[in-house]
Structure 1
Amino acid sequence: MTISLLIAALGTSGCASMTETQKGTAKGAGIGAAAGGVIGAVASGGKGAVIGAAVGAGAGAIAGNIWSKKMEAQKQEMEQATAGTGVAVTKTENNQLKLEIPSDISFDKGKANIKSNFRPILDKFATGLQNNAAARVTIIGHTDSSGSDAINDPLSVNRAASARSYLVERGIAISRITIDGRGSHEPIAANDTEANRAKNRRVEIFVAEPEAQAQAPQAAPK
């Protein structure tokens, strides 16, 4: 009950007056509080739940993302660079910049080679990353349901890897980029027509600037 009330308080108190930075940090704190509470309860038969929640909240705050001026600038730059291309540029609820790249400009069907129309978008994207050294990138590849998982799963990873390699060639440290492939397991449309299958063949790129200012609470003096 204590953990539930704490999470509820973190999720609702002051939301109306919070900045986007504060909201992102609060969400991280709520997740951390839940994890900390479980750990504390297991460790001390329930007595450590409150302490665990407080420590977890500190860790969660550090794990949150901020929406800085640099993030906003990159969003505006990518909106201009992708205008009319079909690329969706959005800000997520947890303060990440998201680029959803459709298949008609990213990769040919069944291939992992970057198409020519995708290159200038990645070029502009790399420039934005160079201007914000704190930003971290996650690239996720997707396929439609044609073929088997044995084909689609590695294909989706290879597409993400191709985008990562392109960015690395343009000076972005590979340590800043995480890749993943979801195969056909996360469709955004039914795989019942060619048009819908094309929607599912996509690459998603996420940019996050981790919260660096928040600090975990110090231990109480003995």
Structure 2
Amino acid sequence: VATAGVNKGRSAATGAVIGAGVGALGGYIWSQRMEKQKAEMEQAAAGTNIKVERTADNRIKVHIPSDAGFEVNRATVRPQLARVLDDFAQSMRNNATTQIWIVGHTDSTGTDAINDPLSRERAANTRDYLVARGVARERISIDGRGSREPVASNATAEGRAQNRRVEIYIGEPAQ
């Protein structure tokens, strides 16, 4: 009877270890498909200021600066971004198991009442552009962060330009 209690305790501990391992796998995987998609997106972005990189958590991050994406205080996709998004859409359609997050950002020159909706509208317009080119809407989530996540100082024009951006994250969920 005493050994049954010990084995039961070991089973619970073993289950906890296995459960922790499964939970750790709940993130994203970096597969050959993801590597291929990253290469396709890098090729599509060549010659622009758009950057494509692999993140530490195994997602693709596409950094679209304001000069490549949107005019100041506007949310309309610029023609040079549209050409790149056309190629991105094809790559996204070819990798239907990935999830896509689009996040809009602004500089701090306006109020939150202006910046928050503007950043979300930029993300929404980017999503809508991709959806119009065959990427399933249910795969795409959007968010607008306004001026809350600067990547540079808002004290200079150059810094503000860096903060006005859209970021696209693409991840293949671990099974």
Classify 1:86/1:53 alpha carbon distance in 2 versus 1 (closer, same or farther; 3 Å).
Answer: same
For CA contacts below 8 A with separation 6 or more, give which structure has more relative contact order.
Answer: 2
Secondary structure (helix, strand or coil) at the match of 1:198 reads helix
1:57 aligned to which of 14, 21, 26: 21
1:53 Cα deviation after fit? 5.8
Cα shift readout 1:162-216 (whole Å, capped 9, x = no counterpart): 000001101111110010111001001001111111110000000000112xxxx
Report the Cα distance in structure 2 between the residues aligned to 1:193 and 1:181, rounded to whole angstroms.
22
1:79 Cα deviation after fit? 1.2
Report the Cα distance in structure 2 between the residues aligned to 1:56 and 1:195, rounded to whole angstroms.
45
2:101 aligned to which of 110, 124, 138: 138
Partner in structure 2 of residue 88 of structure 1: 51
Aligned amino acid, residue 69 of structure 2: S
What's the RMSD between the two structures over aligned residues? 1.5
Secondary structure (helix, strand or coil) at the match of 2:52 reads strand
5 Å-filtered alignment, 1:68-217, equals 68-212=31-175
Partner in structure 1 of residue 30 of structure 2: 67
Aligned amino acid, residue 171 of structure 1: G
Q: Which has the higher strand share?
A: 2
Classify 1:162/1:49 alpha carbon distance in 2 versus 1 (closer, same or farther; 3 Å).
Answer: farther
Aligned 8 A contact 1:70 1:131 in 2: no
Aligned amino acid, residue 204 of structure 1: E
Report the Cα distance in structure 1 between the residues aligned to 2:104 and 2:149, rounded to whole angstroms.
10
Cα shift readout 1:83-121 (whole Å, capped 9, x = no counterpart): 121111100011100100010111111111111111011
Aligned amino acid, residue 88 of structure 2: F
Report the Cα distance in structure 1 between the residues aligned to 2:16 and 2:32, rounded to whole angstroms.
34
Structure 1: any 5+ residue segments left out of the alignment?
A: 1-47, 213-222
Report the Cα distance in structure 2 between the residues aligned to 1:115 and 1:64, rounded to whole angstroms.
33
Report the Cα distance in structure 2 between the residues aligned to 1:173 and 1:131, rounded to whole angstroms.
11
1:80 Cα deviation after fit? 1.4
Identity of aligned residues (%): 50
Classify 1:192/1:129 alpha carbon distance in 2 versus 1 (closer, same or farther; 3 Å).
Answer: same
Structure 2: any 5+ residue segments left out of the alignment?
A: 1-11
Q: Structure 2 length normalisation: TM-score?
A: 0.88
Q: How many corresponding residue pairs? A: 164
